[in-house]
Structure 1
Amino acid sequence: MILLMACTESKDKPFQNNENLKNENPNRITIINSLDKTYPYIIYKELTLEELLKGEVVSDTIYSPDTLFFKLNESVQLINITPTDEFNPQSFLVQTGDTLNINSIKNKLHINRVENGKLIPIKWDYSHIIPKSKLFLKLDSLESFFLIEEKIANLNSFLPNIKNSDEWDLKLPEHLKQIDESYSILIDSINRNDNQLNKAYNQLIQKDQILRTINVLSIVNNKLETEKFYKKLFTLEYFKNRYLSDIYGIYYLRKFHFNNDITLPEVYNREFKEYPEVISRYFKFRLISSMVEKKYNRKTILNFLNKYKEEYGDFSPLENILNEIEYGVETSPDLALIDYESNVSNWEEKKKQWKGKIIYLDFWASWCAPCLRAMPYSKDLKEKLASKEIVFVYLALNDKEDMWRNSAQKNQIIENNFFIKNSKSSEFISNYNINAIPRYMIFDKNGMLIHEDAPGPETKEAFEILSELLKD
C-alpha cells in the first residue's frame, strides 16, 4: 500500500524552517534523504483497525537524494524507517512539523531530527517508557520462572524454562495479575498529565504489556487464562490503540489462517458475535485476503467479495484484491487481447486470422526472468523458420500494461505481441492450468492445439517438432 506523494525540494537547502512546515502541513513531518547513490528507504506507520478498513496508506518510499512529506494520523506518533535492501527498521517518536534527516557518517547510518540547523538523535525504544524500577525488576525476576534468556548465535532469545513446567499452571494467574498491576501503576502515573505525548506513551505501554502477556501464555498454553486474556483484548478500548494492529494480525493468523480444522469459507460464514463489529469486519477482510493467498478458485472469492460488499457497502482496503482477480470482469472461455497499438481483439479471432499457419505460442511476462532469458532463442528460432508458414505469438500473462509495453519495446518483440486483459478470469488459463511461465503451446494449421506444453525455443526439440509439422 505504497501510495503517498513524494516531492523534491532544492538540494542546496537541506535544512528547512520548521515553523513554515508546521503551518503549511500541520499533520505531516518532513524527511530529507541526504544520501547519494544508495538504496531507497521505506517509511511506515501503524494504523488503527478503523484506519486500515478505510484503506488508508500505511507507508511511502523515499529515494536519494530527495525530500518527502509523510502524513501522520496523530500529532505524536511512532514511525519506522528501514532500507529496502534489508529489513532493519529503526523506530522514531515524532510530532507534526518535525524534520528528519537521513545521512551517513563514517559509513554508519544516522537518522536525526533537525532543530535550528542542528541534528538531534531521536532513535526510540521501550527503555524510554518502561522504567528500571523495583516494580519492573521484580516483574522481570518473576518472569524467569516461565522464560529464560539464552543467546543463540548473535541474538538473545527467550525460551521456556522447562524445569518449572510442572508448576506453570499454578503460578500463571498470580504472574498475570502482577503484570496487570505493574503496568496499571505505570499508566496511572502517565495519565496524570493529559497530552498527546502521554497518549502515545499510554498506547505503547499497553502494547508492551500485551506482548509480555502473550509471551508467557504462548509458553504455558493454559487455555482458560488465554481465553480470558483475549476476551479482554477484543474490546473497543484496545481496538482504538493503533499499536495493537499487528497483535490482532498475529491472533488472526493463529486462530484462522493456519487453522486446519476449519475452512476459510466456514470461518467467514460464522457470525463473529463475540467480537465488536469493527474487529469482525477486520477478520472478514483478512479471510478474503487469505483465500487469495491460498489460491481459492475465483468464483469462491467473488462470492465472498459480494457478501462483504452487501454487508459493509465498500471494498476498502480490498482494492488490490479486486484488481488481482479482475472483479467485475465476466468469466470468458477466450483470451481478451490488446496489441502494442492498443487494438482490441481476442484469441479466437487471431487464430482464424492465422489459419493455414503453424502457431508457436509463448506465454511470458515482463517480470519473468526465465521468460526474458528465452527471448533471444525465440528470435533465433523465428529467423531459422522465417520463410515457412509459421507465426510466433507472445501473450503477456499476469502483467501490468505499462511494464509489458516497456519490455516489448526493450526486447524488440512488437510483432504479434499481445497483453492479456483477463489473465485472472479467462477459462482458457484455468482449463489449461497455466500457472507457471514461460509456457509454450503449438497449434496446427487448422488452429487445433497439438502441443499443450511444448518445448521452449532454446531446445532442439522445439525446432525439430516445428520443422516436422511444416512438412505437412
Structure 2
Amino acid sequence: MKQIFYISLLILILVSCKREKGNSITEKPKPNKIVLISVNAPKEYVHLLKQDSIGKKLKDSVGPKSFWRNNGFTYLDYMNNVKTWQPKANVSDTITIETFKDYLELSTNNFFTSIAETFLVKNGDTVVFNYEHNIPKGRIINREVSDVELNYNSFRLKKLFNNKYTSHFLIFGNLFLNENTKEYEQKSIEYYNQAKQDFVKEVALLDSLKNNNVISQTNYLYRLEALNMLMEKHKKSKNIKKWITQNKSLGDKEKIEQVYGFDLTKTDSLMKFSFFRDYLNYISQYDLNLINENNGSSGGFYIDSRIRFDSILKDKRFNQTAKNFLLFNAYNGIGENFRVKDKEKYFKKLQKHTTNVYQLDKLKKDYKLDFSKSNELVLTNQANDTLTYSNLLENNKGKWLFVDFWASWCIPCRKTMPESNKLKKEIKAGNIEFIYLGLNDKKESWKKAIKMDSISDSQNYFIENGNVSKVIEDLAIKTIPHYLIYNPNGELVNGFAKRPGQGAKEQLKKLIEEK
C-alpha cells in the first residue's frame, strides 16, 4: 500500500498545475518548451572494463575498453515517441524540445552503474550540460535548483559508492571483472544481497535529503520509484530468480522478496519515465524461456518475440499508449532474431494494431522494410549504381571469389583488413577477386572506412536490403565478419571460410590447387 501511495502522489504532483504566489486565480502560461545546451560532448564515451573508479586517466591504459559512440539524451516527446538527442562532439550544441507537460525526464547511459543517468527538468527550463569524465553534469540557468537534485545520480555514486562500481552493477558486471567465470552465479547472489543493503541506505539518504529540503518532494518520489524499479530489474536475472524461488520454498518470510508494481491505469501519466517504460518491458516478457543460439564462435540468448508480440496484443492490462510502446519493442526482437517471413508477417500486424504512425514510418525507413524484393540481395557501388547479388556472381564467373561481409562499426571486421590486403598480394596470381559487402551499415561511414582500410582497389558494394533479404538467410549470415569462397563456376564451395590471417590463405590455396 505504501508503494501505491508513493506512485499516486508522484502522479498528482507531476500532472497538477502550480499557481503563482499571491495569485489564486491566474496561472502563469507554460512556455511549452525545454532548451538543452551541450558543451563539448565527447566524441566517444570510453570506459575501461577493469577500471574501478571514475577520474582515472584513460589515455595510456592498456586494459579492456568499452566504446559507446552514440550516447546521448533520451526522452519521450509530446507524441509519446522515444527520441534520443545526440549532441555534436567538441562544440556547443543546442536543441529545443516541445513539451506540454510539467516535467520532462532526460536519461543517458552511465558505465559505472546499472541505472540510467537521469535528469528531471521542468517545462520552461534551459539546461546546460558539461562533461566530467565523459559523464554529463547539468545546470539549470533560469531557476534555482540544488546541484544534488539535478545531478542526483553522480551524487549517489560518490556518496554511497565512493565513485566505484556499485553493487547493482556488479550483480551482472562481475562476469567481466572476475577472472573465474565459474564463480559468476555465486558472486551475483552475493552482490544482490549487498544491493539490498545498499537500497536501504539509499532510501535513508533520500529521506534525509528530502527532510533537509535539499531535494523537492517531486524529485524524492521520482528517485524512490527509479530505485524500486532497479531492484525489480535485478530479480529477472536468471540466477537471481532461481535463488529467490529457492528462498520461497524454504518458507522463510524474512527472505521472501516483495513484488513491486505500478498502477497501470496511470500509464499515460507515467509513460514519460524511463523506469516505468522498463517496468512495462519487464512485465511483458511473460517469463518466456530463453532461446540459446550457438553459431560456432558466436551466439546469444533471446526470447521468442513473436509469442511476446501476440501476448501483448491480448493483454488487457495495457492501454493503447502502452501497446504502442511495447509492440515496437517486441518487433525489434523479431527483426533481430527471426526470419524474413516473420518480419513481414509481424510488420503487417504492427501496421494494423499501432496508432503511432510516426514510429511506424521511422521503423520502416531505418530498417528499410521493403519486402517486395526479399528474394534478392540488392547492392549499390560507391557511384550508387545498382545490381543484385546474383548479377554480381554472374559478372565474376571465371574467377575465384573471396567475399567479405563486414561493416564500418564492426571492430573485428576492421582489424582483419590489413591481413586481407596482405592476402590479396600473396595469391594475386591465383585468378581471384576480393569482394567486400557492407552489411547493416550507414553509407557515409561505409565509404569512409573503405578509404581508411585501403580496400578501394577491390570490388565494394553496399547492401541495401540486408534486413529483409532471404539471400542473407540462405547464406546463413548471422554475424560479421563472415567470409564465403566461390569457385570459377560461380558455385559456393565454402560458406564459412576462415578469416584472413587465420587460415583463409591455406583454404584458398588448397581449393585453387585441387581445381
Unaligned residue ranges in structure 2 (runs of 5+): 1-28, 46-68, 153-189, 200-209, 211-215, 236-243, 291-302
Determine whether 1:66 maps to 2:92.
yes
Q: Distance in 1 between matches of 2:429 and 2:229?
A: 74
Match of 2:128 among 84, 100, 116: 100
> Out of 248, 258, 272, which is 2:315 matched to?
272
Please list, as runs of the form range in 1=range in 2, the aligned pairs for 1:323-338 lying within 5 A after superposition.
323=365, 325-338=367-380
Q: From 261, 285, 289, give the equivalent of 2:328.
A: 285
Q: What amino acid does structure 2 have at the position aligned with 1:112?
A: R
Residues 108 and 242 (structure 1 numbering): CA distance in 2 closer, same or farther, change over 3 Å?
closer
Shift in alpha-carbon separation, 1:338–1:299, aligned structure 2, 3 A: same
Secondary structure of 2:87's match?
A: strand
Structure 1 residue matching 2:498: 3-state secondary structure: coil
Deviation at 1:318, TM superposition (A): 4.6
Contact 2:41/2:91 (CA < 8 Å) preserved in 1?
yes
Aligned ranges 1:424-443 → 2 under 5 Å? 424-443=467-486
State whether residues 34 and 66 of structure 1, in contact with CA within 8 Å, keep that contact through their aligned partners in structure 2.
yes
The one-letter amino acid of 1:340's match is Q
TM-score normalised according to structure 1 size: 0.64
Q: Which residue matches 1:395?
A: 437
Q: Corresponding residue for 1:233?
A: 263
Residues 59 and 242 of structure 1, relative CA distance in 2, 3 Å threshold = farther
User: Aligned equivalents of 2:225 and 2:135: distance in 1?
Assistant: 33
Partner Cα separation in structure 2 for residue 57 and residue 339 of structure 1: 32
Q: Look up the match of 2:149.
A: 124
CA 1:51–1:249 in 2, change beyond 3 Å: closer, same or farther?
farther
Q: Which residue number in structure 1 is paired with residue 281 of structure 2?
A: 252
Q: Deviations over 1:393-428 (max 9, x none)?
A: 212222222111111122222231111222222222
Gap change, CA 1:269 and 1:459, over 3 Å in 2: closer
Structure-2 change in CA distance of 1:409 and 1:205 (3 Å)? same
Tell me the equivalent position of 2:17.
Answer: none
Residue 369 (1) aligns with residue 411 (2): yes
Residues 257 and 287, structure 1, Cα contact 8 Å, conserved in 2: no
CA distance in 1, matches of 2:492, 2:380: 22
Distance (Å, rounded) in 1 between the aligned partners of 2:43 and 2:495: 47
Larger CA Rg, structure 1 vs 2: 1
Confirm or deny that 1:33 pairs with 2:39. yes
Contact map agreement 2:32 2:100 (CA 8 A) in 1: no
User: Is the Cα–Cα contact under 8 Å of residues 120 and 219 in structure 2 kept in the other structure?
Assistant: no
Q: Which amino acid aligns with 2:95?
A: F
Cα distance change of structure 1 residues 238 and 205 upon mapping to structure 2, 3 Å threshold = farther
Give the CA deviation at 1:430.
Answer: 0.8
Change (3 A) 1:248 1:405: closer
Letter in 1 for 2:278: G
Select which of 450, 456, 460 maps to 1:417: 460
Q: Is the 8 A contact 2:377 2:469 kept in 1?
A: yes
Q: What's the offset of the Cα at 1:357? A: 1.8
Deviation of 1:311 after TM superposition, in Å, equals: 3.0
Q: CA deviation at 1:306?
A: 0.9
Instruction: Judge which range, 308-317 or 435-444, deviates more.
Output: 308-317
Letter in 2 for 1:284: L
Contact conserved, 1:392 with 1:416, CA < 8 A, in 2?
A: yes
Amino acid at match of 1:234: L
Contact 1:389 1:470 (8 Å CA) reproduced: no
Q: SS at the partner of 2:434?
A: strand
Alignment map for 1:12-23 (pairs within 5 Å): none
Q: Cα offset for 1:371?
A: 1.9
Q: How many residues align?
A: 378
Q: Deviations over 1:267-294 (max 9, x none)?
A: 543533344333344333333233335x
Q: Percent identity?
A: 17
Aligned residue number for residue 112 of structure 1: 139
Contact 1:42 1:81 in 2 (8 A): no
Structure 1 position 392, deviation (Å): 1.7
Q: CA separation in 1, counterparts of 2:101 and 2:33?
A: 7
Give the SS at the match of 2:462. Answer: strand
The 3-state SS of whatever aligns with 1:61 is coil
Give the TM-score normalised by structure 2.
0.59
Report if the CA contact (8 A) 1:204-1:243 is conserved: no
Cα distance in 1, alignment partners of residues 76 and 97 from structure 2: 12
- CA distance, structure 2, for counterparts of residue 27 and residue 445 of structure 1: 63
Cα distance in 2 between the residues matched to 1:306 and 1:355? 39
Deviation at 1:461, TM superposition (A): 5.5
Using the TM superposition, give the Cα deviation of residue 360 of structure 1 relative to its aligned residue in structure 2, in angstroms: 1.9
Quote the residue 1:158 is aligned against: 196
Q: Tell me the CA shift for residue 433 of structure 1.
A: 0.9
Match of 1:44 in 2: 73
Offset from partner CA, 1:342-393 (integer Å, 9 cap, x none) = 2211222222222222222222221222222222222222223334422222
Cα distance, 1:121 vs structure 2: 4.6
The reply on whether 1:348 has 2:390 as its aligned counterpart is yes
Matched position secondary structure for 1:157: helix
Structure-2 separation of matches of 1:465 and 1:283? 48
Q: Distance in 1 between matches of 2:41 and 2:306?
A: 49
